[in-house]
Structure 1
Amino acid sequence: MRSIAILGAGDLAATLARRLAEQEQARRVVIVDSDESRARGKALDIVQSGPVEGFDVQVEAAVSLTAAGAFDTLVVADPPELADPALPPARAAALGESLAPVVAQRMLVVAAPSASAVIEAAVRKGLSRERVVGSAPVAYASALRRRLASEMQMEPSAVSALVLGLPPESIVVPRESACVGGVPVDRLSPVALRRAVAGLGGRAPGPVALAAAAARVLRALDRSRASVLSVVVQLQGEYGHRGVALAVPARLCGNRVDAVVEVPLDPVDRVAFDGAAQRRQREAYWA
């Protein structure tokens, strides 16, 4: 990617900007926030660390997306509309509606945990569902893998799992997807998966994990060969639901959501996933 704009100048935005610069995932990163002095301070701090860390990326600040200039991808990190969970959900939806015409044919990645309202609003306003995705489920999947590894005394890198639903409140983990070295977790421990999922309930990842997840999704989008990751996508009939944005596995490549991957769900997981969809519909209705 040539240029990435990051909306917000909080801990998540700054951590993501630093990670993108260190890994040189873009030639230019712009931190966009209404508090321009704060954004400039974060950008300057990252730029000054470049010679020490060995990276050479242009990191800038802007007071608005208009002032940010040309960009290939917009990442929603922690703007005021999403910074405080106590704010009305309607503000997240209004943000999504305002971003749809700005993004147009480019890619919109929502790194904040509360991605569903932003994604649904952006799609309603005409943004293609292939052009907007939420990256937080990658962080939830990583946390789950860590907990599973701890439960089973295994290396976290040997554990794989998919996260579906509406995390952190409604987490659905298809049993066939939870494996250690390719072996289903249930064959090794009948209780490890249940304990790991229970340990994640209601806990949102921190800015470092969310930034790592967003960076991973951006890498997948930038490649020509597809990666399958758990991300928030607007459903269009997949899993029996339409018009709601939920965490599902999807193929990412070529700067777009190539396809939603439908994995088999046992009856218990199906009920839990349908419950997550209904919960999201209620949230959208009362917003």
Structure 2
Amino acid sequence: MSTDFQQARAALGTRLRELRFTCPEGQLNGKELAARLGWPRSKVSKLENGKQTATRDDLWAWAEATGHPEAHDELVNRLAGFESHIRSWRRSLANGFTPLHESLSAEIDRSTGMRVWEESVVAGLLQTPEYARHVINRYSQLLGGAHDVDSAVRSRVRRQEWLYQPGRKMRVLMWEAALRSLICPPAVLAAQLDRLTGMIGMDTVELGIVPFTAQVKIVPANGFWILDDRLVVAEDWHAGLWLDDDDNIALYSKVWRTLERSAVYGAEAHNVITGARRALETQ
């Protein structure tokens, strides 16, 4: 995570510890507070030491349990302050795309399993270099401030070495829109689709496609990555969200499983990709 994020979360943890120490009934130790809250002792420790991000419900419960209900709004404002801008694209891209790619690559290298959902673009670890170049260029044009596209493409391609290491598994779900979005010239997309068909059946990749014709149980939106059930990286227009608390990981895991029920695999996935490939011949 970013230094700003770590510092802000640690500062919130320090404030939570202060409230525990200044309980009107007398200082509480961590075990006593955990018992009041019905939490594991480890959760109290993680929150106070900046190792876990509190939810708003956590903060409300903490303020009540420590006898400081008046502190609730302050705590929530602290949380909102660092949630809203820590991974803002403009700040993250101040030094270019390459450091941004490399920070995610470091987390991927630590992981042995990934679950990925992409609704409108081919997942990064499956991209051809030319397709990646066009995707990164589009973001550069939108957000500005980054002039290291070639370096970022190389970084993204190096990240794909993860797929060829034993013991790794990437389970990818993509909406059919990702196969058809002309974010690049048709010839580049055609080559990208050819690569996807070649990846079906790889030991380290499980590729599922949600066809346009499938009934979906949830709106297919907001791409995200779940790394080893310990970190979720989700992207929006203004920011990337890095979430490591149990509640958010459980939520995104539920979203992924819900989308998975609408996906096709193997020969059926191959047919959807081939259909998108044929459609390019008329472009």
Above 0.5 in TM-score? no
Larger radius of gyration: 2
TM range (shorter): under 0.3
Query: What's the TM-score, normalizing by structure 1?
Result: 0.26
More strand by share: 1
Query: What's the TM-score, normalizing by structure 2?
Result: 0.26
